[in-house]
A and B are shown apart, each in its own frame.
Chain A
C-alpha cells in the first residue's frame, strides 16, 4: 500500500511537469508581446521595459523557464500584476471558502443521493424509481445559476431563512458558516445529486442481481441489512469514482456559484484574474487545479481498497 502510494506520487511528477511547461509557455506563446498585453494599450515604453525586466523577458526562453521553475519548486508562484502581492498568498486566502463549500456540497449530495439511488434500485420499475429518475433529470437539465437564483428568491428573500449572499469562515463558528454556505452548497449539489443518485441506482441494481444478495436473503436478513450492508458496499466503487471526480470539479468549477453568492473563493479569484489578465495568478490557478485533480484521483484509487478487499496495491 505504502509502496503503491509512493509509486503513484512518483507517477504524478511527469503529469505536473507537463502542466508546468504548458503553463509557462501559455504566457510566452500568446501572440504579441506579453509585456504589452499585461501593460495594456495606454502603457509608455518605460513601463513596458520595466515589466519586461521584472518578468525576465529579456533573457533567453530556456533561462526564463528554469528560473521560473526554480522559484516554483520553492513554492513561489510569482507576484500578481494587479495587486502586487504573492500569488501563493492570494490562493491561500481564497482557497478556504472554496474547499469548505466543496466539502459541504459533496456531503450534502452524498447524503441525499445515495439513499435515493438505493431506494430507486430497490423499488426498480415502480413509481418511486420513476420519481427519483425524474428528479435526477431535472437536476441535470436546469442550469446552476437558475437553481441558485430560485433558492435565493425563495429561501433568502421570501422566507428570509438565510442571508442572500456572502461568506463566513468556519473558524468564526459553525452556525454563521452554515447559514451562508447552505444555499450555495444546495445549488452546487443539484447536479451532483442527480449524477450520484443515477450512478448509485445503476450500480446497486446490478449488485442486487448477484448471488450473494440472494444468499443474504436466504439467511433471513432484513431488507435494510441486505441493501446497505451487502449491496451498497459492493456498489461503492463506481459511486466513489463519481464522488471523487465531482469533488475535483467542484473545487475547480465553482466560478458561477461563487459569483452568484458573492463568495471570495478561488472561483472568484480566477474570474477576476482572467478579466484583469493577471497572468501569474492564472498560471498559479492552473497549476493548483491540476495538482488537485492528481491528488483527488490518488485518494479515490487508494480508497477503493477500503471498500473492496480484493483490491490490494
Chain B
C-alpha cells in the first residue's frame, strides 16, 4: 500500500453533492441514488466500493453525462467539475469535456472497443474530435501514447483489431485512449474485473504509474476489497444508492464503523487456506488419467491439421466427500477439463472413470445411464436456468428422465429447496423472480436432485457478490457433508479455492503445473507460476475478516 501523495487541502477536481438520481419520468419510485456526496482531488485515488445494485456505476455514468436518458435522470444535487456544474452543462459542452478533461475506462475491454475499427483508428478519433493535429502527427502522438502504456510492437498493434489483442493489451489501449489528452479526472469502472489476476496486477500498476505521471484524480469503481486495499487513498462504501461510510483506506480496513462495511469485509474469503480436513472415505469416485483435448483445425477437404492443445496429460483422482479445486487463468484449460469430465465435449485421449466405470470412449447413447452420477453447476445463474420453466419443473426434469415418478420427484424437489434455504412456494415460481444468489441455490438443488457422485462447479460463485458468494460456498460445503458428494471446483480465484478445496490443481496452458493439498499449494507453492498467481492476488497481505494486515507475510 504505497500512497501516491495528494494534497488534501487542494480544491477537489470532482465534487458530487447530494446527488439524487431516479427512474426517468417516475417521481414516486424510490431513487436509484439517494443523495450521495463524493469529492476527489488531483492525484488522489478514490475507490467506490459496493455490491451489485449499490449505485456505484450509476454515479460514474452520471459524472460523465452518460446516463441512459430514457431510463435514468438526475433529480437534484450537483456534480461539480472544477467548480462547473455538469448537470447544467449542455450536450456540446459535455462532449468537449469528455476525454479532454474527464475520461473513462470500462470493465470489459473486449466489448468496450469497437470490433470493426482498428485500435489505432479508435485512439486517433479522440485527437480528431478534440485537437487540430494533422493526420501524420495524430499517428505519431498515438504511437507515443501506446509506448507509454507499455504496449509492445506499437506499429503492428496500431493497425490491429481488438479481437487480435489479448485482454491486457485491450485494456492498455483503453487506458491510452482515455489518457492521451491528459484529462484531470479518470473514472475507471471495474477496469480489471474481467482480467486475469496477473494481468490485473499489471493494469493496476499502469494506472498508478500514469496517475503519478499526469497527476490525475482517479475515481475507481470496484467490488473487490483486495483491489481497494491495493490502490485506494480514500474509500466510499456504497449500498443501495447510499454512501454508508467513507474515509481514508486505513480507517476503513482497520476500524470500519458501519455494520455493512464490517459485513462486506468479513465476507472476503481469506487467502489463508482452511485447516486440512481429516481423510474420510477412501472410495475413489472420479479418476482422470492422461486426459488430452486437442481442438482440431479442419483443413482442406476434411483432413485434420494439428490444432490447439487445450489440455495435455491431466491426471487426478477425487474421493468421496472431498473437494478438488482446479485453479488457473483464462486459457489454462480448466474449463476444458471440466467439460471433458462431463463429456459435454469429447476428450482426444485419456481415461475418465466415474466410480470405476470408464466413460471416456462411450458414445452419446452409451453414456446416458452414467450422466446422473456427475452433475454440473454453471457460472452464470441468470443464463443456466430456463426462464420459461418453473423452478420445480427444472429440478424434477432430471430425475424423471431416469424413471423417478413425478410425485416422488416433486417431493424430493421440495425437500431440496428447503435444504438450500428457499421458501416453500419457490417450486411454482420462475427463475426471474429470484436473485442471483437464490438462483445459484436453485441450480445446486437441481444438480443434487440427481444424487450425483460428483458435482462439477465451473466458476459457480464467480458471478456473485462477495456476501452471497460466502453463503453459496457454505451451502456447497453443507451439501457435501449431508450427501457425501465429491466436488470438482473450477475457479480462477485463489481466495475461493483456499476456503473450499482439500486439494488443488494449478493449471497453465493446458498442463497441470502443481497438484497438492490446498494447504501446501497456498502456503508453500513449488512452481513459479503458482507463486506468481499468489503474488498477483490483490490485497494479499491483508486479513480482511479480522481487520488487520496478515502477520505471516510482511508487506
**What residue of chain A has the Cβ atom nearest to residue B70's Cβ?**
A125
CB of B163 within 8 Å of the partner chain: yes
Q: Which of B81-125 contact A (CB under 8 A)?
A: 94-100, 103-104, 106, 108, 111-117, 125
Known: A211-B108, A309-B161. A220 touches B116 (CB 8 A): no
State A233–B163 Cα separation when bound (angstroms): 16
State A233–B114 Cα separation when bound (angstroms): 10
| Partner of B64 from A3, A124, A210, A218 at Cβ < 8 Å | A218
Q: Which of B337-371 contact A (CB under 8 A)?
A: none
**What residue of chain A has the Cβ atom nearest to residue B98's Cβ?**
A220
Residues from chain B with a CB closer than 8 A to the CB of A124 are 70
Residues from chain A with a CB closer than 8 A to the CB of B163 are 309-310
CB of A85 within 8 Å of the partner chain: no
Whether A308 contacts B116 by the Cβ 8 Å rule is yes
Residues from chain A with a CB closer than 8 A to the CB of B97 are 220
State A222–B114 Cα separation when bound (angstroms): 16
Whether B112 contacts A214 by the Cβ 8 Å rule is yes
Whether A212 contacts B111 by the Cβ 8 Å rule is yes
State A67–B97 Cα separation when bound (angstroms): 76
Whether B106 contacts A221 by the Cβ 8 Å rule is no
Question: What size tier do the contact residues of chain B reach?
Answer: 20 to 34
Residues from chain B with a CB closer than 8 A to the CB of A230 are 114, 117
CB of B66 within 8 Å of the partner chain: yes
Most central of A125, A212, A214 by chain B CB within 10 Å: A212
A216 to B: closest C-beta gap in Å: 7
Residues from chain A with a CB closer than 8 A to the CB of B126 are 219-220
Residues from chain A with a CB closer than 8 A to the CB of B100 are 220
Residues from chain A with a CB closer than 8 A to the CB of B297 are none
Whether B99 contacts A309 by the Cβ 8 Å rule is no
CB of A217 within 8 Å of the partner chain: yes
Whether B114 contacts A221 by the Cβ 8 Å rule is no
Whether A211 contacts B115 by the Cβ 8 Å rule is no
A8 to B: closest C-beta gap in Å: 14
Contact string against A for B residues 159-173, beta-carbon threshold 8 Å, 1 for contact and 0 otherwise: 001010000000000
| Partner of A309 from B66, B115, B300 at Cβ < 8 Å | B115
Residues from chain B with a CB closer than 8 A to the CB of A234 are 114-116
Whether A220 contacts B99 by the Cβ 8 Å rule is yes
Whether A220 contacts B96 by the Cβ 8 Å rule is yes
Whether B106 contacts A225 by the Cβ 8 Å rule is no
Whether A219 contacts B66 by the Cβ 8 Å rule is no
Q: Which of B44-64 contact A (CB under 8 A)?
A: 64
**What residue of chain B has the Cβ atom nearest to residue A236's Cβ?**
B116
Contact string against B for A residues 247-289, beta-carbon threshold 8 Å, 1 for contact and 0 otherwise: 0000000000000000000000000000000000000000000
Residues from chain A with a CB closer than 8 A to the CB of B103 are 218
Most central of A124, A210, A219, A308 by chain B CB within 10 Å: A219
B6 to A: closest C-beta gap in Å: 24
Whether A310 contacts B99 by the Cβ 8 Å rule is no
B105 to A: closest C-beta gap in Å: 9
Residues from chain B with a CB closer than 8 A to the CB of A245 are none
CB of A303 within 8 Å of the partner chain: no
Whether B129 contacts A215 by the Cβ 8 Å rule is no
Count A-side interface residues using an 8 Å CB cutoff. Answer: 24
CB of B531 within 8 Å of the partner chain: no
State A310–B129 Cα separation when bound (angstroms): 26
Whether B114 contacts A215 by the Cβ 8 Å rule is yes
CB of A68 within 8 Å of the partner chain: no
Known: A219-B98, A220-B130, A225-B125. A211 touches B106 (CB 8 A): yes
Whether B104 contacts A218 by the Cβ 8 Å rule is yes
CB of A307 within 8 Å of the partner chain: yes
State A212–B163 Cα separation when bound (angstroms): 13
Provide the main secondary structure of the chain A interface.
helix
Known: A214-B66, A309-B161. A219 touches B112 (CB 8 A): no
State A308–B113 Cα separation when bound (angstroms): 13
State A192–B106 Cα separation when bound (angstroms): 39
Whether B98 contacts A217 by the Cβ 8 Å rule is yes
State A200–B179 Cα separation when bound (angstroms): 34
B37 to A: closest C-beta gap in Å: 23
Known: A225-B125, A309-B161, A310-B163. A219 touches B115 (CB 8 A): no
Most central of B64, B125, B130, B161 by chain A CB within 10 Å: B125
B13 to A: closest C-beta gap in Å: 17
| Partner of A310 from B94, B98, B161, B174 at Cβ < 8 Å | B161
State A36–B90 Cα separation when bound (angstroms): 80
**What residue of chain B has the Cβ atom nearest to residue A309's Cβ?**
B161
Q: Which of A121-153 contact B (CB under 8 A)?
A: 124-125
Most central of A214, A225, A233 by chain B CB within 10 Å: A214
Whether B113 contacts A215 by the Cβ 8 Å rule is yes
CB of B374 within 8 Å of the partner chain: no
Residues from chain B with a CB closer than 8 A to the CB of A308 are 115-116
**What residue of chain B has the Cβ atom nearest to residue A233's Cβ?**
B116
| Partner of A218 from B98, B111, B116, B300 at Cβ < 8 Å | B98
Residues from chain B with a CB closer than 8 A to the CB of A222 are 95, 129
CB of B177 within 8 Å of the partner chain: yes
Whether B129 contacts A220 by the Cβ 8 Å rule is yes
Whether B98 contacts A211 by the Cβ 8 Å rule is no
Known: A218-B104, A222-B129, A309-B161. A212 touches B99 (CB 8 A): no
State A214–B66 Cα separation when bound (angstroms): 7
State A220–B99 Cα separation when bound (angstroms): 6
Known: A220-B98, A221-B125, A221-B129. A212 touches B113 (CB 8 A): yes
State A286–B175 Cα separation when bound (angstroms): 58
Q: Which of A284-313 contact B (CB under 8 A)?
A: 307-310
State A244–B85 Cα separation when bound (angstroms): 50
State A67–B96 Cα separation when bound (angstroms): 74
Residues from chain A with a CB closer than 8 A to the CB of B117 are 229-230, 233
Residues from chain B with a CB closer than 8 A to the CB of A225 are 125, 129
**What residue of chain B has the Cβ atom nearest to residue A234's Cβ?**
B116
State A124–B116 Cα separation when bound (angstroms): 24
Whether B98 contacts A216 by the Cβ 8 Å rule is no
State A221–B97 Cα separation when bound (angstroms): 11
Whether A309 contacts B104 by the Cβ 8 Å rule is no
Residues from chain A with a CB closer than 8 A to the CB of B106 are 211, 214-215
Residues from chain A with a CB closer than 8 A to the CB of B96 are 220
A2 to B: closest C-beta gap in Å: 13
Q: Which of A198-215 contact B (CB under 8 A)?
A: 210-212, 214-215
Residues from chain A with a CB closer than 8 A to the CB of B94 are 220
State A216–B178 Cα separation when bound (angstroms): 11
Most central of B108, B115, B163 by chain A CB within 10 Å: B115
Whether A307 contacts B111 by the Cβ 8 Å rule is no
Residues from chain A with a CB closer than 8 A to the CB of B130 are 220
**What residue of chain A has the Cβ atom nearest to residue B114's Cβ?**
A212
19 A-B contact pairs sorted by A residue (CB < 8 Å): A3-B300, A214-B106, A215-B106, A215-B112, A216-B114, A218-B98, A219-B98, A219-B99, A219-B126, A220-B95, A220-B98, A220-B99, A220-B130, A221-B129, A225-B129, A234-B116, A308-B115, A309-B116, A309-B163
Of all A-B residue pairs in the complex, the 8 with the closest CB atoms, nearest first, are A220-B98, A211-B111, A212-B114, A211-B112, A220-B95, A218-B104, A309-B161, A215-B112
Beyond contacts A124-B70, A219-B177, A220-B126: 11 other A-B pairs, Cβ-Cβ < 8 A, are A125-B70, A212-B115, A218-B66, A220-B99, A220-B100, A230-B114, A230-B117, A234-B116, A308-B116, A310-B116, A310-B163
